[in-house]
Amino acid sequence: MTATNQPRVLILKTGTTYPEIRAQFGDFDDWFVRGLSDQLDLTVVDVTRQPPPGQPQDWDGIVITGSPAMVSDRPEWSETTAAWTRQAVDAHVPVLGVCYGHQLLAHALGGKVGFHPDGRDTGTKQVTLLETAQSDPLFKHLPAQFPAQLTHKQSVLELPPGAVLLANSSFEPHQAFRVGGNAWGVQFHPEFTDQIMRAYLEVQTPDLNKEGLDATRLLAEVTPAPAASRVLTRFSELVTDRFASA
């Protein structure tokens, strides 16, 4: 791999968004590119089309995106990515898994992933940090409670052995966790803007109404979530600091 004077971060793209949202806002990887530091050397690989490149330790950080796929279906590309992610954690490479990536990280390390017993969670919701987050490198600078954008049907039902639970919400007991010192999963979407969240709810409205959810109310309750977005800023800083001290 070509040497660079910037930290090399690999974005593992695990799917694509709705066509109408992609046309207006770009795709999953674009949102992470915008949210992460421009001081990082970013590479995007669509793991639904090709396996993760090289060895995990070739990279200074790894981000795993959301996906319309379901971890519990265990498609071949997802299982390949899970095994590679497990190697990354073992090699102490900083990893951030978001939504599907959060669930895939848990699955890769021995946790249980499946459909949430209460159905879909979507919209702007309050995330509450636990006491464990007060000393966590990624979360310790965030407020004790903050709004975040969410949209998912599956959840981490059981954390991996040894995982530290960092955050929850009224609907979701496992909003964030850490394994070891360098791997984090977050169920919420730090890469979503409020405009993207509204676009999701507009696309989902027919299904939400069928499921007994109030799409109009959910749309009205969407707010910006700057504290949640700081997860990407802080992950960038952690990767950069680690790179500088290597």
pLDDT tens across 16-74, in order?
999 999 999 999 999 999 999 999 999 999 999 999 999 999 999 999 999 999 999 99
How many angstroms separate the CA atoms of 56 and 39, rounded?
Answer: 20
152 has catalytic annotation:
no
Specify the DSSP class assigned to residue 170.
S
Q: Which of 99, 102, 172, 174 is catalytic?
A: 99
Bridge partners (DSSP) of residue 94 are none
With respect to residue 167, please indicate whether it lies within any of the assigned structural domains. Answer: yes
pLDDT value for 37: 97
CA-based max dimension of the chain: 53
What pTM does this model have? 0.97
Distance separating alpha carbons of residues 73 and 64, to the nearest angstrom: 18
Radius of gyration over alpha carbons of the chain, in Å?
A: 17
| pLDDT for the residue 246 | 85
Q: What is the pLDDT of residue 109?
A: 99
Question: For the domain that residue 69 is a member of, what is the CATH number?
Answer: 3.40.50.880
- State how beta strands 145-152 and 121-129 pair: antiparallel
Residue 93's pLDDT is 99
pLDDT at 95: 99
- Give the chain's domain count: 1
Q: Which parts of the chain sit beneath pLDDT 70?
A: 1-3
Helix axis angle, 28-35 to 226-245, nearest 10°: 70
Instruction: Specify if 41 maps to a domain.
Output: yes
Catalytic, out of 102, 107, 174, 189: 189
The gap between the terminal CA atoms of the chain, to the nearest Å, is 17
In a domain, 144, yes or no: no
Domain interval for residue 24:
8-117+154-192+226-245
d(Cα 49, Cα 30) in Å, to the nearest integer?
17
Q: Is residue 50 part of a domain?
A: yes
CA 168/CA 145 separation, integer angstroms? 10
Catalytic annotation, pick one of 107, 152, 172, 191: 191
Nearest to 59 by CA among 13, 11, 8: 8
